[in-house]
Amino acid sequence: RSWQEVNTLLVEADRILNCEEPIRYEGPFHVGVDLGTADVVLMVVDDHARPLAAFLEWAQVVRDGVVVDFVGAVDIVRRLVAKAQARLGVEITQASTSFPPGTDPRLSTNILETAGLDVVQVVDEPSCVGALLDLDRAAVVDIGGGTTGTAILGRGEVVFSDDEPTGGTHITLVIAGRTGLSFQEAEEKKRSPDDWNILDMARPTLQRICDIVGGHIGGHDVEEIILSGGTCCLEGIEAVFTSELGLPVKVPSRPLLLTPLAIASLP
């Protein structure tokens, strides 16, 4: 799928996010569950990857590839499935899921199976994104809260992956230190899109993240960078990466929904 098409699908997913209003749907559908560190997202798409239902719950059930709240994760998946079933008037018995490269895929499958779902596919996160966008010679860079992970894709397969502990949390800490705000207040300030000083305060951490990514991609055949993860919501991040790394950089219209859409749309 083209970049533009995927961004249109992401905007549609965001428009219906957590929308419980029932719709009549009778065709084939595919379900993806993304068990993130900060949130769990369930997305249902049709045969053309068009989102039919999308539900997100903020929760810290997984951390650094480890499930810290198994029962909580299973409960959330059950709740999200129930909401999607009610919206679409269908029974959901199976879903695909994902895992960060280098972690154990059984963590995700165990959660889905305990929630009563048959697991159709379990594919690492960047490969899902790679399949959605038909990526080749590209780096998918996931900048989350605690870590930045790079996965290099060659012909749709991960040929290299690594992650290091620098991410959005470090930006929040810098903002808190510079402004005297608490961590939570700084976190809210960071997310307010009208404050452009945020990018100036974030720049040194972003440059450090670019150094990390530059180290990851050095020596590999990479022609473009796809940014994902919550930290990519920061306005102006694309320009920082482009100038630091000297490669074309793409930021999806809804960074937090890219992986869930990619999982649900697995071929």
Contact 53, 34 (CB under 8 A): no
Binding segment for ligand ATP (CB under 6 A), chosen from 11-19, 84-92, 205-213, 226-234, is 226-234
What's 59's DSSP letter? -
Contact 22, 48 (CB under 8 A): no
Nearest C-alpha neighbor of 128 from the set 226, 247, 250, 11: 226
Residue whose token pair is 């470090």: 170
Q: Does 126 bind ligand ATP (CB under 6 A)?
A: no
60 dihedral zone (left: phi>0; alpha: psi -120 to 50; beta)? beta
Residue whose token pair is 């594919």: 123
Distance, CA of 261 to CA of 255 (rounded, Å): 10
Query: Least separation, in Å, of the C-beta of 64 and ligand ATP?
Result: 7
Nearer to ligand ATP, 134 or 188 (CB): 188
> What tokens were used for 213?
């990514």
> What tokens were used for 45?
């798409």
Q: Does 233 bind ligand ATP (CB under 6 A)?
A: yes
For 151, residues 6+ apart whose C-beta sits below 8 A from its C-beta are: 101, 124, 125, 126, 127, 139, 140, 142, 158, 160, 161
Q: Does 231 bind ligand ATP (CB under 6 A)?
A: yes
Q: Does 199 bind ligand ATP (CB under 6 A)?
A: no
Query: Least separation, in Å, of the C-beta of 163 and ligand ATP?
Result: 8
Binding segment for ligand ATP (CB under 6 A), chosen from 34-42, 91-99, 113-121, 241-249, is 34-42
Rounded to 5 degrees, what angle do the CA atoms 217, 245, 99 make?
A: 45
Residue whose token pair is 């999806």: 252
Q: Does 191 bind ligand ATP (CB under 6 A)?
A: yes
- Considering only residues 6 to 25 of the shown chain, the ones binding ligand ATP according to CB under 6 A are none
Binding segment for ligand ATP (CB under 6 A), chosen from 5-13, 37-45, 110-118, 154-162, is 37-45
Q: Which of 32, 36, 51, 252 binds ligand ATP (CB under 6 A)?
A: 36
Q: For the chain, give me the number of helices (H) and strands (E)?
A: 9, 12
Q: Does 146 bind ligand ATP (CB under 6 A)?
A: yes
Nearer to ligand ATP, 29 or 144 (CB): 144
Q: Does 167 bind ligand ATP (CB under 6 A)?
A: yes
Q: Which of 32, 168, 252, 260 binds ligand ATP (CB under 6 A)?
A: 168
Binding site for ligand ATP (CB under 6 A): 36-39, 142, 144-147, 167-169, 172, 187, 190-191, 229-231, 233-234
